[in-house]
Every structure is written in structure tokens, then in C-alpha cells.
Amino acid sequence: MQIQYIGHSGFWVEVDGIYMLFDYYYGKLPILPEGSRIYVFASHSHADHFNPEIFGLAEKYDVIYILSYDIKLNAYKRQKYGITEALSEQIVSVRYEEDRQIGDLRVRAYQSTDAGVAFLVSLYGKNIYHAGDHNWWHWMGESKQYNNNMAANYKRGISRLIQAEQHIDVAFIPLDSRLGESYGYGMRYFLENVCADHVFPMHFGKDFACRDRFIEEYNDLNAEQKLLGIEYEGEAWSF
């Protein structure tokens, strides 16, 4: 398995010649042989997870787009984004709680605590989880009720992931320092409850030090063994 960090929550994953792009926002993408099959995911409609530039990939590659149900492509947007009738047939819309085979992939979608979905993708015995904006968003300026509901919804979502009984090879999980002292709540709960070999932080903007800070502050988790550090955009790993 090959993984490359593109930027923000965007990752490029390759498993045995199958290419996947998750939540492209900005950044440089690898160049592949023309006609390569790529599965392009967008977990929700927020601009930092869904960039319409992804539709331009279809000019060079054989692309299947797997988009959250909240990404509404009406006639105006299809024209604006250059989505032809032929290209529209390569777009698959998924809702939370769906479990379906899409090309080479088995895709299960889970409800987010914000917009859209999280994805669990399986192929060739490998399982990849991209959380999108599914996180424990504990904001200091919000009410106690809001934050209590957020905690309950996040835990409920993770419980559904656990119930899938799938060992996760690679997971991409938000670690957002904008949350202040609560920035690690979601990551901690995930590491404590989900069996995953390699976990990548995401949604941290340019705060590349957030992973090391998390490991220092949550040293009881022994997180250094599975939570990978990201030092720059474009960094790559092989597993």
C-alpha cells in the first residue's frame, strides 16, 4: 500500500494498482499513466473537502467519483463544473448507512457528526477508513448541551464502525488544534476503541506539530506506535 499526503484532509492511496483520492482540497497530485482507473471520494460538500477541480481528472483518467449525498449537482452546477452527460454516469452518490460494491471497492458510509459521511473502503483484504468531518467537535464557545450531544453522536458513530468487525489497516482522523484543549478528544477515543494499524492525523491546516503534541499530552495511549507524523505536503509512505 502506498499513501501520499496531499494537503489538509486530502490523501492519495494506491493498493495493488488501484488508485484512490480522498477529499481533495488543494495540492499536487501524482501523475499516472493516461487511462488509469481512479476512485475519487468527497466526504461532504464543504469547500475544504470537495474541490470541483476533481472533475478535470476525467480528461486523462478513467475516474469513478464517489460523493456524499449532500454534494448537490443540479443542472447549473453540472454546467459550471463541466460535467457532461457521459461524465455524470461516472458519479455515484452515497448516503450514510449504505454498504455497496462500487467497481473494485466495497464502500460503507457512516454518518458524520458534521456534514456528509465517513468512508470505510475495502479491497484486496485491505480496509481504509477516511473520517471526513466525523469528529468529536467540542467547541469551547458552544453550549454544554451541544457538546454533550456531539460527544454522544461521535461515540455512536464509532460504535457502528466497531460493529462492522473490520480490522482497519489505515485510518485518516481529524486532529484540529482550533478546538483548543479539546483538540484530541476524537483522536483519543478512536485510538482507544478502534483496531487500526496506521493512523494519520488530518484537518490540522499547517499545524504539523499537532501529532507530536498529542503524543506528549496523551502519553498513556502509547500512540507513537500507530499515529504517524506528517512533516510536509506531498510526503509519502509504503506499508
Each residue's pLDDT tens digit, 8-36:
999 999 999 999 999 999 999 999 989 89
Q: For the whole model, what pTM was predicted?
A: 0.95
Q: Where are the domains of the chain?
A: 2-238
- Where does the pLDDT of residue 172 fall: very low under 50, low under 70, confident under 90, or very high at 90 and above? very high
The whole-number pLDDT of residue 118 equals: 98
Residues 180-205: b if buried by 16+ CB within 10 A, e if exposed = eebbbbbbbbbbeebebebbbbbbbe
The whole-number pLDDT of residue 69 equals: 97
The whole-number pLDDT of residue 154 equals: 95
- SS3 of residue 6 by DSSP: strand
Residue 90 backbone zone (phi > 0: left; psi -120 to 50: alpha; other: beta): alpha
The whole-number pLDDT of residue 83 equals: 94
pLDDT digits (tens, 9 = 90+) for 92-135: 999 999 999 999 999 999 999 999 999 999 999 999 999 999 99
The whole-number pLDDT of residue 112 equals: 96
Q: Is CATH 3.60.15.10 the right assignment for the domain spanning 2-238?
A: yes
* 56-71 mean pLDDT: 96
The whole-number pLDDT of residue 18 equals: 93
- Where does the pLDDT of residue 141 fall: very low under 50, low under 70, confident under 90, or very high at 90 and above? confident
d(CA 23, CA 230) in angstroms, rounded, equals: 17
Is the pLDDT assigned to residue 165 strictly greater than 80?
no
For the chain, the farthest-separated pair of C-alpha atoms sits apart, in whole angstroms, at: 54
Is the pLDDT assigned to residue 59 strictly greater than 90?
yes
The whole-number pLDDT of residue 220 equals: 81
The whole-number pLDDT of residue 41 equals: 98
The whole-number pLDDT of residue 223 equals: 78
Half-sphere exposure of 36 (CA within 13 A, CB side): 16
The whole-number pLDDT of residue 169 equals: 96
